[in-house]
């Protein structure tokens, strides 16, 4: 006790073929507090990750 818990940003990428359950997985992740984006072009992922991690860093510390 007495120690601050470190906030960490987690990144989960859900992939799979049609009918594999991606939508259900994303719904479950949203239910537990994850921010989800569906059908993001792979080329945009690095930029998106940088934005999210910078935003999180600015908000938490």
pLDDT in tens, 13-32: 999 999 999 999 999 999 99
Residue 29, domain member (yes or no): yes
Number of domains within the chain: 1
pLDDT reported for residue 61 = 56
Residue 26, domain member (yes or no): yes
Residue 12, domain member (yes or no): no
Phi, psi (rounded to 5 degrees) for 24: -65, -40
- Band (pLDDT 50/70/90 cuts) for residue 1 is very low
Closest-CA residue to 37 (of 4, 1, 11, 5): 11
Residue 39, domain member (yes or no): yes
Angstrom distance (rounded) from CA 33 to CA 49: 17
Look up residue 58 and give its two tokens: 């600015």
DSSP state of 18: T
Predicted confidence (pLDDT) at residue 60 exceeds the cutoff of 60: no
Expressed as residue numbers, the domain containing 52 is 22-60
pLDDT reported for residue 52 = 83
Residue 6, domain member (yes or no): no
Distances (CA, A) of 15 to 9, 45, 54, 56: 20, 13, 24, 24
């Amino acid at each position: 006790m007495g120690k601050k818990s470190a906030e960490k940003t987690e990144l989960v990428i859900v992939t799979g073929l049609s009918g594999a359950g991606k939508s259900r997985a994303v719904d479950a992740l949203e239910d537990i507090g994850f921010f989800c984006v569906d059908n993001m072009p792979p080329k945009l992922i690095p930029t998106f990750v940088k934005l999210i991690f910078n935003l999180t860093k600015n908000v938490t510390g």
